[in-house]
Amino acid sequence: SDVYKRQLFCVWSTSRMKSLQKEIKEGSRIVIENAKLPGIDKPCKVQMQDDKKEKPHKAAHEFVLNKVFAKQSDRIKDFDNWMGNVPEFNPSLINYLQSTREKILKTEAKESDEFAQLEKEVIPAVEKLLNNAIADREPHRTKQEEIVTGATKLMKDGKLITKENLSLIHI
């Protein structure tokens, strides 16, 4: 029948199913495109590397420090321009310059009224966006875990064909 010709078959190995279970439990990267934040004219791209291991408040603070404040600070912009002109012949030099930049940025932020204002306005807004994204993701993560666990059980029971046991699919 024509119906069977349009079916999509996906065959997984048991090792891939275990890998999927691990990936689901470990956490996900969150990316929020075109986030409108108070006190910032342009929409921003807000990111959190791991929604299980990273704290939303810390991610929000790092975002404001590195993506908002660093772009407003003349001292940091000057340092970035200078650093961009340094030849990259020594990787340890680049690491040193990056850590120096981070120290300067943190010192500059502590002394800045602008950063204090951003902390009051923007960090709570970013944290709320991240918390909402995590809350939205959790039911999907739970559902994915159920599906993968169910499929793994069917594989172990011999009711679902595995990649290791597949010899031929003819369409």
pLDDT in tens, 106-147: 999 999 999 999 999 999 999 999 999 999 988 888 888 888
- Phi–psi pair at 33, nearest 5 degrees: -85, 150
Residues 137, 30: Cα–Cα separation, whole Å: 9
> 10: pLDDT confidence band, cut at 50, 70 and 90?
low
- Identify the CA nearest to 85 among candidates 72, 97, 102: 97
Task: Output the pLDDT for position 40.
Answer: 86
Is the pLDDT at 33 greater than 70? The verdict is yes
Q: List b or e across 146-167, with b for residues whose CB sees 16 or more CB atoms inside 10 angstroms.
A: eebeebbeebeeeebebeeeee
Instruction: Note the pLDDT tens digit of each residue in 80-100.
Output: 888 888 776 677 787 888 899
Would you call 44 helix, strand, or coil by DSSP? Answer: strand
> 23: pLDDT confidence band, cut at 50, 70 and 90?
confident
Is the pLDDT at 169 greater than 70? The verdict is no
Task: Output the pLDDT for position 4.
Answer: 47
Task: Return the DSSP state at 87.
Answer: -
> 7: pLDDT confidence band, cut at 50, 70 and 90?
very low
Residues 100, 59: Cα–Cα separation, whole Å: 21
Task: Output the pLDDT for position 165.
Answer: 59
